[in-house]
Chains A and B, each alone.
Chain A
Amino acid sequence: MSFSEIYRLKRQLVLMLCTFILVAYGSLSSGGLNAAEPENKELPKDVLNSIMWKSVATDYLLSDKNSNGTIIMNSAIKVVAPKDAEDQLNVPVSVDATAIKNVRKILVVADLNPLPEVLTYEPLNAAARISFRIKVDQGTPVRAAVLDAEGVWHVAGTYLDASGGGCSQPALAYKNDDWVKRLAEVRGKIWRHLGKDQATLRFSIRHPMDTGLADGIPAFYVENLKLTDSAGKILGRLTVHEPVSENPTITVYPFIKQTIDKIQIKGRDNEGNLFKASVPVPVTSTRLQTRK
């Protein structure tokens, strides 16, 4: 028996085993496990009429260990994205869930992306607000699901139209030969809010954010980010997924005391590259011009 034959046999065996395990798990979970879960509550009607709503709700919301099984549509959450994606590699999205009490985390999903999960933000000591940019592969609902302390998911979203192709394009980084030298370069700045123990932190991390869907380029993206103030208090945690745009550029609104002089951004990508940067907090506040 040649080596390749043995290899093939081995592969078949592994495949059979996998199938067996899957089938066994399937019958178990459909019979035993599901029965223990709260009786399938009816999902609220999706305001965005997405064909993926049921699977989004099941895969990402009800499966969360902190969910109590309740999902409500809540228009108090503001999800803003352009009606049409001008640049499919850089579609701005902002989520404001400050109207929801005791936000545990904000999950952002683009239903029709090949990889729907965009990011999860836990604003531990920060306002429940975030903005960032995403890649989209076609027109898709973009929704934010906000989990509160009682385990209720509050869901809101918007529809974003696009012509197609954002997720399967290679990163622009590769047009420069020196991209590795500047991988995970962190840029950022903090603006302290006038008269409040709060600030705006806008930062970007140089990273190709490869989805793994472009020919011949494996997935390579920033996975985790942690924000800590100079007193050691964790301000927020982010789990980032492939659809976040190349060179992720993110705004968060941490709560910081007057004594805090730095915010540390610490992160890692899916290949284990670690990076960190300390962004100085200005002593003086700025009156940010806000226009509605």
Chain B
Amino acid sequence: MDIFRRSLLLNAAVMAAYSALPLRTGHAADFNYQLKASRIADNTYAVIGKLEYFTGHNGGAVVNTAFIETSDGVIVIDTGPSKRYGEQLKKLIRETTGKEIVRVYNTHFHPDHCFGNQLFDVKQIAALPKTISGLKESGEGFSDNFYRLLGDWMRGTELTIPGLPITFSSEKFGDHRLELIALSGHTDADLAILDHKTGVLFAGDLCFLDRTPTTPHADLSQWQASLAQLKKVPHKIILPGHGIADPTDRSIEQTSDYLNWLEKSLIEQARQGKDMIEAAKLEIPQKFEKLKLIKAEIERSVAHLYPKIEQNVLPVISPGGR
């Protein structure tokens, strides 16, 4: 009797725990990202992410991934936020092209771009050396945070470090010659890829379109220099890291314009002696009002950038030293 009662109680507790789970992880019980391949150029497909922050509802599919079909096989650009995403991306590639994957690139070390890596052959995953070292250093922390934010969408996801450091400046698959452009600014190492055959410029997170740029590892002056360089690269269409494909360079201009405004505004806030909480209360110019998540991203950017900006603005009163 006693045992029976206890097991009943235990069951009730377990049931309660399980019924509470879907609340945390979102309603999509089948964890289907509903990935769709949109053709943006000949043999070139983009999987466009939602313009949202990582949540238990979107499972982290807020990022653009892409693939190019060549006669040698398929080239994949970024692998998404989780193992489940990687599986579904691989299935989509198989259904769309029917070909084997020959190369995978990680544009930078942020987890939404490379946590689908484990589905691919490590030796085929190429990234800039600093992307690899950054991922080794911060990957476990990213992983913890993603499990916390995305819940069950992350099930089985394991950090997978790219096996091929990019020390060369181009590669050719079939008749697609890819120029690998090593830049920085969004992170320590940002890879942009230009497909000379189609003129598609895969800009990674150096470019955002209609979604506020994020700055957790940003160096704003390097970022601006990289954007200036991208503008000079002859291309027909840009695939930004977040936002739809852009045939008019609007993503370069918008990103540059926003970062410029953000930096100037924060310097001005520091000059006025604002603390971090006050500093985030910026008057948003009309041209940026439509950028998705702008208020939240400004708050985040203040956390990333303001301590350093402030150190440069506040004068030294006493030199210190012991």
Chain A residues within CB distance 8 Å of chain B: 80-82, 86-87, 90-94, 131, 133, 163-165, 180-189, 191, 200, 202-204, 206, 247, 249, 251, 265, 273, 275-279, 286, 288-289, 291-292
- Flag if A182 contacts B321 (CB, 8 Å): yes
- Flag if B320 contacts A206 (CB, 8 Å): yes
Closest to B149 in A: A163
Per-residue A-contact encoding for B301-321, CB less than 8 Å = 1, 0 else = 011100100110011111111
Indicate whether B275 reaches chain A with its CB closer than 8 angstroms.
yes
In order of increasing CB-CB distance, the 4 nearest A-B pairs are A185-B320, A92-B276, A277-B318, A86-B303
Q: Contacts A86-B303, A184-B321 known; list 19 others, CB within 8 Å.
A: A80-B277, A82-B303, A86-B216, A90-B276, A91-B303, A93-B277, A94-B278, A131-B275, A133-B276, A181-B320, A183-B321, A184-B320, A185-B321, A188-B315, A191-B272, A202-B273, A204-B314, A249-B310, A278-B317
- Flag if B300 contacts A275 (CB, 8 Å): no
Query: How long is the Cα–Cα vector from A131 to B316 in the complex, in angstroms?
Result: 20
How many of chain B's residues have a CB under 8 angstroms from any CB in A?
30
Query: How long is the Cα–Cα vector from A219 to B291 in the complex, in angstroms?
Result: 44
Query: How long is the Cα–Cα vector from A275 to B310 in the complex, in angstroms?
Result: 21
B26 to chain A, nearest CB (A): 18
- Flag if B314 contacts A188 (CB, 8 Å): yes
- Flag if B317 contacts A187 (CB, 8 Å): yes
Indicate whether B2 reaches chain A with its CB closer than 8 angstroms.
no
**A185: chain B residues within 8 A (beta carbon):** 316, 318-321
Query: How long is the Cα–Cα vector from A185 to B322 in the complex, in angstroms?
Result: 10
B79 to chain A, nearest CB (A): 22
Chain B residues within CB distance 8 Å of chain A: 141, 144-145, 148, 216, 272-273, 275-278, 281, 283, 299-300, 302-304, 307, 310-311, 314-322
- Flag if B299 contacts A82 (CB, 8 Å): yes
Closest to A286 in B: B272
B43 to chain A, nearest CB (A): 40
18 pairs, A vs B, C-beta closer than 8 Å: A80-B277, A81-B277, A90-B276, A93-B277, A94-B277, A131-B275, A131-B276, A133-B276, A185-B318, A185-B321, A186-B317, A187-B317, A188-B314, A204-B311, A249-B310, A275-B318, A291-B283, A292-B281
Query: How long is the Cα–Cα vector from A165 to B283 in the complex, in angstroms?
Result: 33
Closest to A200 in B: B273
B158 to chain A, nearest CB (A): 18
